[in-house]
Amino acid sequence: MASDNDVMALLRQLDPSSCRVKIGKELFTRYGPDLVRRVADMGFDIFLDLKFHDIPNTVNKAVAAAADLGVWMLTLHAAGGSDMLRAARDAVDNSEHKPLLVAVTLLTSLAENDLAIQGVARSPLEQVQRLASLAQECGMDGVVCSAAEVSELRMLLRKDFLLVTPGIRPQGDAANDQKRIVTPAAAIQQGSDYLVIGRPITRAREPIEKLALIQQEISGVQ
């Protein structure tokens, strides 16, 4: 687990104009909204990845609180249903700060057999398409999916609908617990709007050099 000092030391080496910072459940649960404010004060746009999934009223209040932190983007689970998604939309519409709302379709750590265990007799792509359509209908700004699904989603959804893709692994990196992985260059080629990259950078021996390598890889395909 990265200490507060480790996080700050890494961020001090980064240029806020070259990447955004994701604060997820691990860092938020340990260091709280104070960390969000400190990282924002350094000039970074913050992707608050707390994946809200609860009854509509609770999500409405949680999204309002997240919006008040001034974050750039935040997540919730599309599987929370249309009332929950619309309650999140209302919260942002009534907030002074207006973060982008992106709904997680199917976690990139899940594959077809995981859906079958849950009693869902669809492929990951079909499940992602279904939940992405719901997210669009309910006023989300985009969805989180695997880059493997991006080209199919582009044909289904409106052109400016954001496709945010974790499960990114440079060639040769370990997949870890991710099951639907794509390389950075392929994700850009497929048309991902934002790549979410964690361990390939944070666990690299030289994180800043690894980030620069990834940026070089994707700049070649843009």
Ligand X SMILES: O=c1ccn([C@@H]2O[C@H](COP(=O)(O)O)[C@@H](O)[C@H]2O)c(=O)[nH]1
Is 159 a known ligand-binding residue?
no
Residue 182 binds ligand X (CB under 6 A):
no
List the end-to-end C-alpha distance of the chain, in Å, as a whole number. 34
User: Contact between 129 and ligand X (CB under 6 A)?
Assistant: no
Known catalytic residue at 25: no
Residue 152 makes CB contacts below 8 A (sequence gap 6+) with 125, 129
Q: How far is the CB of 18 from ligand X (least distance, A)?
A: 18
DSSP letters, 130-174, are HHHHHHHHTT-SEEE--GGGHHHHHHHS-TT-EEEE--B--TTS-
50 annotated as ligand-binding: yes
Q: Give 5's contacts (C-beta < 8 A, 6+ positions apart).
A: none
Element containing residue 5 per DSSP (H, E): helix 4-12
We find the least distance from the C-beta atom of residue 106 to ligand X, in angstroms, to be 7
Distance from chain centroid for Cα 158: 19
Active-site residue identified among 45, 51, 90, 173: 51
* Site for ligand X contains 108 (CB under 6 A): yes
Is 30 labeled as ligand-binding?
no
CA distance 84 to 52: 9
Counting residues that bind ligand X (by CB under 6 A) gives 15
Q: Is 16 in the site for ligand X (CB under 6 A)?
A: no
Kindly tell me which of 90 and 207 has the beta carbon lying closer to ligand X: 207
Residue 91 binds ligand X, judged by CB under 6 A: no
CB of 9 to ligand X, least distance (A): 19
- Exactly one of 4, 34, 49, 177 is catalytic; name it: 49
* 47 in a labelled binding site: no
Among 46, 66, 144, 153, which residue sits at the site for ligand X (rule: CB under 6 A)?
A: 144
Is 125 an interacting residue with respect to ligand X (CB under 6 A)?
no
Q: How many CA atoms lie within 13 A of 189 on its CB side?
A: 9
- Identity of the residue numbered 152: E
46-52 and 21-24 as β-strands: parallel, antiparallel, unpaired?
parallel
Q: Please indicate if the annotation marks 75 as binding a ligand.
A: no
Active site residues: 49, 51, 54
Binding-site positions for substrate: 22, 49-58, 108, 169, 178, 198-199
Binding region for ligand X (CB under 6 A):
24, 49, 104, 107-108, 144, 166-167, 176, 178, 196-200
